[in-house]
A = this chain, B = another copy of it.
């Protein structure tokens, strides 16, 4: 930490700050500047963050952290990219760009089976589908719950596709984990720490979505919550942040890909469907994501979007998805990846 003193801070104030730094177990180093003093506090600042409280002291202008507060997720601790193994031949974070596809919600056996066959035929590697749905309105469709999980398992049995589905309550983590291959944490639960701890205690890989107002640093801190409970299988998913722009549902932050690749060894997946909220833009943003270095995509595909229970406007029809997958191969190859 760097403690910036006010211009004209009294000697007594500086002495108090130095004393407090030592009390907290750090070694202070003073730099006398032209208009003010700056104090470096040497010691491991992670895992404590207590120095921030110095901002309350007289004579202190501000406290500037130097270290990133995450450890397990950091490239400083582990340099090689992590490979998260989902099933035989499906590894996220390796050479292959992994595509997860399927409807927003599981609505019926016919719908999920048709979706699963279609995305499999088009080359997707994992089936997505929501059984527990976090909906903004209490009056909207809330998902088929365990019946939905059973249908996902049935679709997996037929197609061989592993399944990713959302979990929204610590109480149902074990239930969902008994059906799913990947547990999804949605954007609205990205700082639901009780839920993060619970999936951290579970053996299954976790697809962690970035919150709508979440910084990259906070995103990695939420990953750290899961990892610090013992689960290293975290897949990060950028799905659009909230900005002033309304032409798209969210603003898909693709620069998060190279930023995350520099800061963490965890794989990065992009959700162009929620990121844009409009099926017209999904293909372009999928190509861009792979070009920027994404390890995978999660895409909404629905056989009949006009009749979907949720998120129809952003779902691709199977035919369009298949055409997109064809073209995606070219971009994956340009990025030295397979699809």
A binding-site residues for B, Cβ under 8 Å = 2, 4, 7, 20, 29, 31-36, 38, 40, 42-44, 46-50, 52-57, 64, 66-67, 69-70, 76, 134-140, 168-171, 188-189, 191-195, 197, 211-213, 215-218, 221, 224-225, 228-229, 241-248, 251-259, 261-262, 275-276, 279-281, 284-285, 287-293, 305-309, 312-313, 315, 327, 330-331, 333-335
Can you report 10 residue pairs joining A to B where beta carbons are below 8 Å apart? Answer: A138-B224, A188-B193, A211-B213, A241-B243, A244-B244, A251-B253, A257-B284, A287-B291, A287-B292, A291-B291
Q: Is the CB of A241 within 8 A of B245?
A: yes
Q: Do A285 and B258 touch (CB < 8 A)?
A: yes
Contact B293 A49 (CB under 8 A): no
Q: Which 5 A-B pairs have the closest CB atoms?
A: A213-B213, A53-B312, A291-B291, A169-B194, A330-B334
> A54's closest neighbor in chain B, by CB?
B306
Which residues does chain B contribute within 8 Å of A52, judged by CB atoms?
312-313
The one of B49, B64, B195, B333 that contacts A2, using a Cβ cutoff of 8 Å: B64
Most buried by B among A2, A32, A308: A2
Nearest B residue to A34, CB-CB:
B44
Other 19 A-B pairs with CB < 8 A, given A244-B244, A258-B280, A290-B291: A2-B64, A35-B76, A53-B313, A55-B313, A56-B279, A64-B64, A70-B137, A137-B221, A168-B192, A169-B194, A247-B256, A254-B254, A258-B281, A261-B284, A288-B289, A288-B292, A291-B291, A331-B331, A331-B335
Given contacts A192-B188, A255-B251, contact A213 B212 (CB under 8 A): yes
Known: A38-B2, A280-B262, A331-B331. A216 touches B288 (CB 8 A): no
Contact B34 A40 (CB under 8 A): no
Structural contact, B193 and A285, CB atoms closer than 8 A: no
| Given A137-B221, A252-B254, A254-B288, A43 contacting B34 (CB threshold 8 A) | yes
Take A42-B34, A56-B305, A315-B56 as given contacts and tell me if A171 and B168 are in contact as well, using a CB distance cutoff of 8 Å. no
In whole angstroms, what is the CA distance A302 to B231 when docked?
37
Most buried by B among A46, A254, A280: A254
A255 and B279 in contact, given A52-B312, A76-B7 (Cβ under 8 angstroms): no
A244 to B241, CA, bound (A): 9
On whether A137 and B69 interact (CB within 8 A), knowing A290-B291, A291-B287, the answer reads yes
A335 CB contacts on chain B under 8 angstroms: 287, 331
Interface centre among A221, A251, A255, A256 (most CB of B within 10 A): A255
Asked if residues B255 and A252 are in contact (CB atoms below 8 Å), the reply is: yes
Q: Give the residue name and chain of the B residue nearest to A262 (CB).
A: B280
Contact B170 A306 (CB under 8 A): no
B192 and A192 within 8 A (CB): yes
> In the bound complex, what is the Cα–Cα distance between A69 and B137 (angstroms)?
7
Closest Cβ of chain B: how far from A287's Cβ, in Å?
Answer: 4
Inter-chain CA distance A327–B244, complex, in Å, is 34
For residue A61, which residue of chain B has the nearest CB?
B66
Distance in Å from the Cβ of A21 to the closest Cβ of chain B? 11
Knowing A69-B139, A213-B242 touch, does A254 contact B188 (C-beta < 8 A)?
A: no
B217 touches A247 (CB 8 A): yes
